[in-house]
């Protein structure tokens, strides 16, 4: 009887703003900040209603580990990501079940260590090229610069393609897409995307533009018949080898677009926030410069240098802690699921936020302080594993995690050898949590040579 009584009780949580909307209006204003205030007020498990959906904010590392790893078969991805199918189709990010497992097996070899070693040279070359035209005193939107750079990197490494000529077009299309995408990801949005209203039209036009670029890359490769050993070749070869269960152009497009988007937007944001944090923390910046100069002695970095640059890695890790590009990870319970004394009913949404947990003073003393020394192995060993999960965990862990680490460290080392960046006075710095955590107003910085 006792168990039944507790089972029907919900954990504490914020009151609804309106009967239909639940807490949606407040959540939408500043989603990451709102989740933080909910966790700070109501604890490790809080209930709130997002429109018609019952959502639980889970903020204890052990419970997060259970959901993402040990009990992962109890969950699917949340509907928020299912809605991303309007853009990404059935790529790795949005697919489920056996289809996902098969696609993941197919794509995984593109991220093996020997491949990453080769990609490293491209990452450094792209960073050198991106900064070649910079002059001291120049003002730049560093977010735009980093977006162009990471797009060039993912294009070159995974598709052996020079997408820099299309980079601006892709960037514009992405901005258009993101401006409506947050609406499309919200509850009640299913019908919005069927309306012939201008924002939906703009979204469709931008998506068509991206399709044109990606189908163009596929067609070029088919025409050349070349096996360049990159991801695109692998996807196309898998299709050729098995003409019954092979991939259609549409499936290749879905995986390619997924990697193009998942592989550049996240890293661009991470690097932008890193430059910002360095500009605000001159002591850390000086230590970064000292390490890079000492290890590289003026030469270009290579893959093996990544592990010789522990402070640089700590800088990147700390930026991912304070500004995790994937600021929330969602799952949906297949069946009723127990957390502590509570039963989470089937179909509920569970939200786990790196933005929230990575600011929890239980695991991160002085959480708002940018302190790369936290990443000394002795310090890191004291924390529960899922006190830090910018790349998620379990079967759906980011496939590009190691790619992103080497990209982050190599781009930082390449650019910081010659440049430092200063925030333009008065430039507002705010976050905008859509799918990723972007700087709301871009990041206007002045370039200074070292």
Binder of ligand HEM out of 88, 93, 213, 235 (CB under 6 A): 93
| Close Cβ partners of 87 (under 8 Å, ≥ 6 residues apart) | 177, 181, 207, 257, 261
Q: Which of 128-162 are b and which e, b meaning 16 or more Cβ less than 10 Å from the residue's Cβ?
A: eebbeeeeeeeebbbbbbbbbbbbbbbbbbbbbbe
Query: Applying CB under 6 A, does 323 fall inside the site for ligand HEM?
Result: no
Considering only residues 391 through 410, tell me which ones interact with ligand HEM, judged by CB under 6 A.
391-392, 396, 398-400, 403-404
Angle between helical axes of 265-280 and 401-416 (0-180°, round to 10): 40
Considering only residues 189 through 248, tell me which ones interact with ligand HEM, judged by CB under 6 A.
none
Nearest residue to ligand HEM, using CB?
400
Smallest distance, ligand HEM to C-beta of residue 269, A:
8
Return the number of the residue (174 or 398) whose C-beta is nearest ligand HEM: 398
Smallest distance, ligand HEM to C-beta of residue 329, A:
5
Count of residues near ligand HEM by CB under 6 A: 24
Q: What is the CA radius of gyration of the chain?
A: 22
Residue pointed to by tokens 């910046």:
285
Return the number of the residue (74 or 258) whose C-beta is nearest ligand HEM: 258
Considering only residues 129 through 148, tell me which ones interact with ligand HEM, judged by CB under 6 A.
none
Considering only residues 44 through 83, tell me which ones interact with ligand HEM, judged by CB under 6 A.
77
Binder of ligand HEM out of 85, 102, 104, 402 (CB under 6 A): 104
Tell me the pairing of strands 337-339 and 329-333.
Answer: unpaired
Binder of ligand HEM out of 58, 127, 144, 154 (CB under 6 A): 154
| Close Cβ partners of 196 (under 8 Å, ≥ 6 residues apart) | none
Residue pointed to by tokens 């781009």:
411
Which range touches ligand HEM (CB under 6 A), out of 202-210, 243-251, 294-302, 323-331? 323-331
Query: Applying CB under 6 A, does 123 fall inside the site for ligand HEM?
Result: no
Q: Which of 178-205 are b and which e, b meaning 16 or more Cβ less than 10 Å from the residue's Cβ?
A: bebbebbbbbebeeebeeeeeebeebbe
Query: Applying CB under 6 A, does 329 fall inside the site for ligand HEM?
Result: yes
Query: Applying CB under 6 A, does 262 fall inside the site for ligand HEM?
Result: yes
Binder of ligand HEM out of 258, 279, 353, 371 (CB under 6 A): 258
Smallest distance, ligand HEM to C-beta of residue 203, A:
22
Return the number of the residue (151 or 421) whose C-beta is nearest ligand HEM: 151
Binding site for ligand HEM (CB under 6 A): 77, 92-93, 104, 154, 258-259, 262-263, 266-267, 270, 325-326, 329, 390-392, 396, 398-400, 403-404
């Amino acid at each position: 009887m006792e168990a039944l009584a507790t089972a029907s009780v919900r954990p504490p949580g914020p009151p609804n703003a309106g009967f239909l909307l639940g807490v949606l209006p407040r959540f939408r204003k500043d989603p990451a900040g709102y989740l933080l205030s909910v966790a700070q007020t109501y604890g490790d498990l809080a209930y709130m209603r997002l429109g018609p959906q019952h959502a639980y904010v889970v903020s204890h590392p052990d419970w997060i580990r259970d959901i993402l790893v040990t009990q992962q078969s109890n969950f699917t991805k949340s509907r928020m990501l299912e809605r991303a199918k309007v853009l990404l189709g059935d790529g790795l990010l949005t697919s489920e079940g056996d289809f996902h497992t098969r696609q993941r097996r197919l794509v995984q070899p593109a991220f093996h260590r020997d491949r990453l070693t080769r990609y490293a040279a491209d990452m450094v070359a792209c960073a050198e090229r991106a900064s070649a035209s910079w002059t001291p005193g120049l003002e730049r939107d560093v977010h735009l610069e980093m977006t162009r750079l990471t797009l060039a990197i993912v294009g070159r490494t995974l598709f052996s393609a020079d997408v820099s000529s299309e980079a601006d077009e892709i960037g514009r299309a992405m901005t258009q897409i993101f401006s409506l995408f947050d609406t499309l990801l919200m509850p009640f949005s299913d019908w919005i995307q069927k309306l012939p209203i201008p924002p939906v039209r703009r979204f469709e036009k931008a998506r068509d533009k991206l399709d044109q670029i990606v189908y163009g890359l596929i067609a070029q490769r088919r025409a050349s018949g070349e096996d360049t050993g990159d991801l695109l070749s692998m996807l196309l070869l898998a299709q050729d080898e098995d003409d019954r269960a092979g991939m259609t152009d549409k499936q290749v497009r879905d995986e390619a677009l997924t990697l193009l988007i998942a592989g550049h937007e996240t890293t661009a944001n991470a690097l932008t926030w890193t430059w910002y944090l360095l500009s605000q923390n001159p002591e850390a910046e000086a230590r970064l410069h000292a390490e890079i100069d000492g290890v590289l002695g003026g030469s270009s970095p290579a893959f093996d240098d990544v592990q010789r640059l522990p402070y640089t890695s700590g800088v990147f890790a700390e930026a991912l802690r304070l500004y995790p590009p994937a600021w929330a990870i969602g799952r949906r319970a297949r069946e009723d699921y127990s957390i502590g004394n509570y039963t989470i009913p089937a179909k509920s949404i569970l939200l786990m936020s790196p933005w929230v947990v990575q600011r929890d003073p239980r695991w991160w003393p002085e959480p708002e302080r940018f302190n790369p020394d936290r990443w000394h192995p002795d310090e890191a060993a004291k924390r529960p594993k899922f006190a830090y999960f910018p790349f998620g965990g379990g079967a759906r862990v980011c496939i590009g995690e190691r790619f992103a680490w080497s990209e982050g460290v190599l781009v930082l080392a390449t650019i910081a050898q010659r440049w430092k960046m200063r925030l333009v006075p008065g430039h507002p710095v705010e976050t905008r949590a859509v799918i990723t955590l972007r700087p709301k107003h871009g990041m206007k910085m002045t370039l200074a040579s070292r």
